[in-house]
């Protein structure tokens, strides 16, 4: 029997209350044509005692796959950002692949991305296309959410165009751009992609290699209001905080001035459209824009 190749990649899975789904996610990794050298499951519970069902599910899977290089970590800071960060920092390889516990990798996923990166040594990250499903039914992905490649900062200002489960990246990317923001309960990926794409081009393998699943389980991204709030917050902080920019741009009077005119216009347009949507929602709910967003909007206007 031919052995399955092992790649110098660590798979990182944050896990919170999805015992059955994580077993399927782990199986999708293990049934691949090329496997990661390491699998890290990060139990993301404020109290370790609450991790029981998730812990039992992962241990059961590990007993059925004793040769799998699986480790479990405990992260008591809530949210996928903290769990991913802990897993990435604990990884023993320089290459990382993220997988959400409710998604699946198709068998060729890692092998195809590794070949793609080997042929393009100038790239430090790449992602792939996805198949979207809900309750087992295939969904049509909106054209404006199609994955991107190259220097894609402009496109990433309007939509979250990189899925964590599709991404393979080198550790040096986060050493430069920074890690996931743990103060973002949602849109932590959107915020990080802005910082990364200001520094690095991203490659795209043009094949559906990930199944992005949704059904009747709770998802953080289901709150439309929270998504608009945190995406606007990410855009404003990206524009107004110099450390979000590459060192070369930080030599400017303000690093956002390193943007070309069309990129600057795109950032302004994306920010103001998010602000308008959010303001309408606030009025509807008899609320007001949060003070920090008002401050950032004023700061953005002054640049």
Supply the pLDDT for residue 218: 58
Same domain? 88 vs 184: yes
Supply the pLDDT for residue 300: 64
Same domain? 182 vs 280: no
Choose the weakest-confidence range: 155-169, 199-213, 279-293.
279-293
CA angle 21, 24, 25 (to 5 degrees): 85
**Pairing between strand 168-170 and 95-98?**
antiparallel
- At residue 51 the predicted structure's pLDDT band, cuts being 50, 70 and 90, is confident
**For residue 97, is pLDDT > 50?**
yes
Same domain? 196 vs 232: no
Supply the pLDDT for residue 156: 78
Q: Which residues, 6 or more positions from 158, have their beta carbon under 8 angstroms from its beta carbon?
A: 144, 266, 270
Same domain? 236 vs 195: no
Supply the pTM of this predicted model: 0.86
Stated as kind and residue range, the H or E segment containing 95 is: strand 95-98
Cα separations in angstroms, 240 against 234, 254, 255, 263, 284: 10, 8, 9, 15, 29
Q: Which residues, 6 or more positions from 224, have their beta carbon under 8 angstroms from its beta carbon?
A: 281
Range of the domain at 259: 224-302
Would 1 be classed as within a structural domain? no
Q: Please identify, among 216, 234, 255, the residue that sits at the C-terminal boundary of a domain.
A: 216
Hey, CA dihedral for 57, 83, 169, 214, is it positive or negative?
A: positive
- At residue 143 the predicted structure's pLDDT band, cuts being 50, 70 and 90, is confident
3-state helix, strand, coil in the chain (%, to 5): 45, 20, 35
Would 69 be classed as within a structural domain? yes
Q: Residues 272, 238, 232, 275: what is their CA dihedral angle, to the nearest 10 degrees?
A: -20
The residue ranking higher by pLDDT, 219 or 121, is: 121
Supply the pLDDT for residue 46: 84
Would 147 be classed as within a structural domain? yes
Same domain? 115 vs 74: yes
Q: Are 217 and 135 in contact (CB under 8 A)?
A: no
**What is the chain's Cα-based Rg?**
20
Same domain? 206 vs 161: yes
Percent of the chain with pLDDT over 90: 57
- At residue 250 the predicted structure's pLDDT band, cuts being 50, 70 and 90, is very low
Domain count, the chain: 2
Same domain? 12 vs 82: yes
DSSP 176-200: HH----TT-SS-HHHHHHHHHHTT-
The residue ranking higher by pLDDT, 39 or 231, is: 39
Same domain? 64 vs 203: yes
Same domain? 183 vs 151: yes
Same domain? 234 vs 190: no
Q: Please identify, among 182, 216, 250, the residue that sits at the C-terminal boundary of a domain.
A: 216
Supply the pLDDT for residue 31: 97
Same domain? 210 vs 296: no
């Amino acid at each position: 029997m031919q052995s399955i190749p092992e790649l110098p990649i660590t798979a990182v899975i944050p896990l919170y209350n999805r015992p059955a789904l994580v077993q399927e996610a782990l199986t999708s990794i293990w049934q691949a044509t090329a496997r990661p050298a390491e699998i890290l499951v990060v139990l993301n519970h404020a109290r370790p005692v609450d991790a029981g069902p998730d812990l039992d599910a992962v241990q059961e899977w590990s007993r059925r796959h004793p040769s799998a290089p699986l480790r479990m970590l405990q992260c008591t800071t809530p949210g996928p950002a903290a769990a991913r960060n802990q897993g990435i920092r604990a990884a023993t390889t320089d290459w990382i692949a993220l997988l959400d516990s409710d998604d699946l990798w198709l068998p060729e996923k890692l092998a195809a991305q590794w070949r793609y990166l080997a042929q393009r040594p100038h790239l430090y990250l790449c992602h792939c296309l996805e198949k979207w499903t809900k309750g087992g039914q295939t969904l049509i992905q909106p054209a404006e959410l199609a994955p991107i490649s190259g220097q894609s900062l402009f496109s990433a200002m309007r939509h979250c165009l990189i899925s964590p489960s599709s991404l393979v990246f080198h550790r040096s990317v986060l050493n430069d751009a920074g890690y996931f923001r743990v103060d973002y309960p949602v849109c932590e990926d959107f915020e990080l992609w802005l910082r990364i794409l200001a520094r690095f081009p991203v490659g795209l393998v043009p094949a559906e290699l990930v199944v992005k699943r949704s059904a009747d389980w709770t998802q953080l991204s289901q709150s439309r209001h929270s998504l608009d709030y945190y995406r606007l917050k990410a855009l404003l902080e990206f524009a107004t905080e110099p450390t979000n920019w590459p060192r070369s741009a930080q030599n400017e009077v303000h690093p956002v001035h390193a943007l070309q005119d069309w990129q600057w216009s795109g950032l302004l347009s994306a920010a103001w459209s998010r602000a308008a949507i959010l303001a309408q929602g606030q009025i509807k709910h008899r609320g007001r824009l949060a003070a920090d967003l008002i401050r950032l909007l004023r700061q953005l206007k002054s640049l």
